[in-house]
Amino acid sequence: MAEGQNTEKPLEILVIDDNPLREAFADSIKLGIKRTGTYANADVAEDGLDGLAKFIERLNIGKPYDGILTDLGMPRVDGVTVVEIVKILSPQTPVVVLSGYEANELYKARLAKLKELKLDGFMQKPIGNPDIDYFLGWIIEARKNPKNPPEFRQPIKPRGIY
């Protein structure tokens, strides 16, 4: 084995977002991996329905995702429903919701529901490299102690990239 090669199992991350930039976002996660020395794979899903199908498929073969980043507002299945189903099927799977919504009544109702579901974390779009690096570090810590993961606190961020 080469010197300095990481022998840890790579993180498996699922990014669920209807924004066409989701592929670029997954690439940003991969760049964050290089910045932080973390090894990870990032799968993408175009909406909540596609994301839940990928999540359930991985769960059924015994290879669950280490963490999920999901958009809040999406067609077919929204982020609230994604969180609800993930937490029913795999309560220990960390889920962080991303949102670019302004604070209107629908947004406030969705946030209230997410609190009831014991959402692990929330990040306001746009997000930048410090947010991605923080998320990856947090997932590593959550993986070490899945029954009692650390509290997720979104870092103060510069102008976002996504």
Q: Do the domain assignments include residue 128? A: yes
Distance CA 160, CA 128 (A): 4
Q: Do the domain assignments include residue 112? A: yes
Domains of the chain: total? 1
Q: Do the domain assignments include residue 152? A: no
Distance CA 12, CA 55 (A): 11
Give 132 or 96, the one with higher predicted confidence: 96
Print the domain residue range for 64. 11-142
The alpha carbons of the chain give a radius of gyration, in whole angstroms, of: 15
pTM: 0.80
Q: For residue range 59-85, what is the model confidence (pLDDT) as tens digits?
A: 999 999 999 999 888 889 999 999 999
Residue 133 has a CB neighbour count (10 Å cut-off) of 18
Q: For residue range 12-59, what is the model confidence (pLDDT) as tens digits?
A: 889 998 877 666 666 666 666 666 666 677 888 999 999 999 999 999
Instruction: For Cα atoms 94, 95, 98, give the angle at the middle one, nearest 5 degrees.
Output: 150
Q: Do the domain assignments include residue 4? A: no
Enumerate the H helices of the chain as residue ranges. Answer: 22-36, 48-60, 79-89, 105-116, 129-144
Read off the CATH number of the domain in which 119 is found. Answer: 3.40.50.2300
* In contact, 41 and 13? CB cutoff 8 Å: yes
Q: Do the domain assignments include residue 91? A: yes
Q: Do the domain assignments include residue 5? A: no
Q: Do the domain assignments include residue 74? A: yes
Chain mean pLDDT for the chain: 78
Q: Do the domain assignments include residue 156? A: no
